Chains A and B, each alone.
Chain A
């Protein structure tokens, strides 16, 4: 849960308009605080040979897929996807604007970050209906064709692999390279959630113990004080 600051957005706008140097200085100070977290988080990204080999391979014929295939893992891309932002964000649905953010942008990095936090044993397998057969107009005489019922496959939230333990094996492999850590402070009021659980940025944020957060707030307070002094002198 981010700390709410009243007037921070207006301060940033005022700084940008009336004290660009001070605005840049503020951004640099905030970035320095956030960079410590992103650097640590990038260190948690495993190398390509640490994850299951199939996850790093190019899929043959992927250019002809009509759907988006499972994202391939690339350690460098995952590391590059971990970044920060010191610009105010768009308001979310509840009307809050974030003044600084740490992001995990890459798809593979996001998968590595969150896999197993909802289903630690992998997604459950969907029970298929079994064999379905058809008998007419198959062009093969009296031969009947049997196939697995496709209408029950590809269900969201279920393991669609032929290997029923695929999810568990995948998560076990990820857990062997880095454990899931919940960054939500203990004792916080509200319903427990896994929304702030992850292996990369959330883990780094948890291990930072709020130092980066305090540094960002301090930078904003400092800039506010400096801006106040500037305006006071100007007046």
Chain B
């Protein structure tokens, strides 16, 4: 089929492949079980016995080493008296929890070093077992976590997901944390032990213990029988002994099986029990002990002393002292934790206060904006009042004037206050002093108004002070108009004088008749006349023209004298540049300005630009052969 687009309606599990897998798995399991059986010694060979013996000796050696290390550690932390109890506790705990003593001893040493108390250490070891069972941590990590927490390092506690923040955990004492952990993981260890893995771990502990016990016995035997032959010979002896032992066990097992087939085997079973007891009694360890007894008592390794005779009492005193020291240390730690918590709380409070201050500063910044809005509103109100004053003008009643003055002074005072605050804030002393004086003056004005002891003239002055500076004053305008009118009149007079007829000999009263002038000589008369006659005629005509010029000069002198007289009547100073010019000079007081703007430079630029443009486009004005 090209595709697998199928809808299966009803199906049945035949399980061909699954059954095959299950079959494989079963076979594998069977093989594993067989291997396990072999390991457990169901079919132990001599080689296996020897290997097991070696492993046992090694395990026993390491166990003894670990015991001594723990004892030394306890001694170093002042708990030497508890070494025996510690071993007892560890032995009991490993059988109960399935945690090997290889792990328990370092844990015990670590916690004892931290807590300084055997009781606390034992409690924490039990708690660590619950924690490791109820979490993803292994036993060593759990112990480490508790040890760190005991000295105040609580960062690792987050791995337990206790539901508290790091800050909350940091603020708690170790006892509180211990209680929380105990509540959270209570029963986890027991539940874990009820599982298959838990039972297997207990079995592993038993196996290891057996290995260690056998190893210790073998070590005892080595110690007893090795003698001067050395370890090498002893190894060979052990091998031979192991082979013999294996043969012996096989024989016993075979014998037991054969006897079991015989009727009345119960009696024989009792016999085997007795044989087992005999074998147990004559174990290598027991043999070594017997050998020691045969050799007789050995001298004391330690000298007898008075203190040693009362070791029980001394140990009790040491124990009490150690416990008291541990309690003291715990108290110190608790005190330290409290101090840290207080410090953290103080820091948090400081941060909170700082946040509040920041917030207030932000609000103040916003308030500053509002403040500016107030200033704008005040300014707008002032303008509105001024507008109102302008509208009312002279028609305002006394009451209105009083009200307006009150409003204006209030607004001014508010404005002064704001400006003064600004000046104080910016530490501008000069401005602050000035504004304070202004505020004082405004307050006095307001006081005057509110006490009703006012005078209308004062109010008028107040209002006038608030009026904006007038750009166009009516009186000034009237005065300017009158000046312009006078100027126009004088211009008219001047114009009339300029339009009058030019002075003639008649108008000047020279006695020369109208039309009396030297007539030009006709061409034909000139051609006919002699040269002398012509010269004489020309001289006579020149003399006559000079006489008329003298008359005109006299007339001009008379007109100027008349103008001076007129200007004197107007109160103007004399100016030699002429009457009109003098008048204009006098009128400069009214600030009539005439500006002549010189545009020459602009014209030059235009011409230059045009020339340059022409040059760019190839229309040179100075082409070859052109006249410069």
Residues of A within 8 A of B11 (CB): 2-5, 96-99
Q: Compute how far the CA of A3 lies from the CA of B18 in the bound complex, rounded to whole angstroms.
A: 19
Chain A 1-41 per-residue mask, 1 if CB under 8 angstroms from chain B, else 0 = 01111111100000000000000000000100010010000
Residues of B within 8 A of A30 (CB): 9
Stretch of A58-66, A105-113, A169-177 on the interface side: A105-113
Contact-residue bracket for chain A: 35 or more
| Cβ-closest chain A residue relative to B4 | A110
Q: Compute how far the CA of A212 lies from the CA of B10 in the bound complex, rounded to whole angstroms.
A: 11
Q: Compute how far the CA of A97 lies from the CA of B15 in the bound complex, rounded to whole angstroms.
A: 9
Interface pair B16/A91, CB less than 8 Å apart: yes
Interface centre among A37, A110, A216 (most CB of B within 10 A): A110
| Cβ-closest chain B residue relative to A41 | B7
| A77 CB to nearest B CB, Å | 12
Interface pair B6/A107, CB less than 8 Å apart: no
Interface pair A97/B7, CB less than 8 Å apart: no
From 1 to 39 in chain B, residues with beta carbon under 8 angstroms from any chain A beta carbon are 1-3, 5-19
Q: Compute how far the CA of A97 lies from the CA of B11 in the bound complex, rounded to whole angstroms.
A: 5
Contact with A95, one of B1, B10, B14 (Cβ below 8 angstroms): B14
From 215 to 235 in chain A, residues with beta carbon under 8 angstroms from any chain B beta carbon are 216-217, 220
Residues of A within 8 A of B17 (CB): 91, 93-95
Residues of B within 8 A of A95 (CB): 13-19
Stretch of A129-137, A143-151, A157-165, A197-205 on the interface side: A197-205
Interface pair B8/A201, CB less than 8 Å apart: no
Residues of B within 8 A of A94 (CB): 13, 17-18
Interface pair A96/B12, CB less than 8 Å apart: yes
Residues of A within 8 A of B18 (CB): 94-95
Q: Check A5/B12 contact, CB under 8 A, given A94-B18, A105-B3.
A: yes
Q: Compute how far the CA of A216 lies from the CA of B10 in the bound complex, rounded to whole angstroms.
A: 8
Q: Check A105/B2 contact, CB under 8 A, given A91-B16, A95-B16, A97-B14.
A: yes
Contact with A6, one of B3, B5, B12 (Cβ below 8 angstroms): B12
Contact with B10, one of A106, A107, A220 (Cβ below 8 angstroms): A220
| Interface size of B in residues (CB-CB distance below 8 Å) | 18
From 99 to 140 in chain A, residues with beta carbon under 8 angstroms from any chain B beta carbon are 99-107, 110, 113-114
| A177 CB to nearest B CB, Å | 18
Interface pair A107/B5, CB less than 8 Å apart: no
Interface centre among B2, B10, B17, B18 (most CB of A within 10 A): B10
Interface pair B10/A113, CB less than 8 Å apart: no
| Cβ-closest chain A residue relative to B18 | A95
Residues of A within 8 A of B16 (CB): 91, 95
| A212 CB to nearest B CB, Å | 7
Residues of A within 8 A of B2 (CB): 105-107, 110
Q: Check A8/B7 contact, CB under 8 A, given A105-B1, A106-B2, A110-B2.
A: no
Interface pair B13/A102, CB less than 8 Å apart: no
Interface pair A202/B7, CB less than 8 Å apart: yes
| B90 CB to nearest A CB, Å | 48
Interface pair B3/A102, CB less than 8 Å apart: no
Interface pair A110/B3, CB less than 8 Å apart: yes
| A111 CB to nearest B CB, Å | 9
Q: Does chain B have a CB within 8 A of A45? A: no
| B283 CB to nearest A CB, Å | 56
Q: Compute how far the CA of A81 lies from the CA of B8 in the bound complex, rounded to whole angstroms.
A: 16
| Cβ-closest chain B residue relative to A103 | B6
Interface centre among A9, A37, A95, A103 (most CB of B within 10 A): A95
Interface pair A5/B5, CB less than 8 Å apart: no
Interface pair A101/B7, CB less than 8 Å apart: yes
Q: Compute how far the CA of A97 lies from the CA of B7 in the bound complex, rounded to whole angstroms.
A: 12
Residues of A within 8 A of B13 (CB): 4, 6, 94-97
| Cβ-closest chain B residue relative to A96 | B11
Interface pair A201/B10, CB less than 8 Å apart: no
Residues of B within 8 A of A182 (CB): none
Q: Does chain B have a CB within 8 A of A180? A: no
Q: Check A7/B12 contact, CB under 8 A, given A93-B17, A95-B17, A107-B2.
A: yes
> Interface residues, chain B, CB within 8 Å of chain A?
1-3, 5-19
A to B CB contacts below 8 Å, 19 in the list:
A3-B11, A5-B10, A5-B11, A8-B12, A94-B18, A95-B15, A96-B8, A97-B11, A97-B13, A97-B14, A98-B9, A102-B7, A104-B6, A105-B3, A105-B5, A107-B3, A110-B5, A202-B7, A220-B10
> Interface residues, chain A, CB within 8 Å of chain B?
2-9, 30, 34, 37, 89, 91, 93-107, 110, 113-114, 183, 196, 198, 201-202, 205, 212-213, 216-217, 220
Q: 10 closest A-B pairs (Cβ-Cβ)?
A: A98-B8, A100-B9, A95-B15, A110-B3, A104-B5, A2-B8, A102-B7, A99-B10, A2-B11, A96-B11
Given contacts A98-B11, A110-B3, 19 further A-B contacts (CB under 8 A): A2-B8, A3-B10, A4-B13, A89-B8, A95-B13, A95-B15, A95-B17, A96-B11, A98-B6, A98-B10, A99-B11, A100-B8, A102-B9, A105-B2, A107-B3, A196-B7, A212-B9, A216-B9, A217-B10
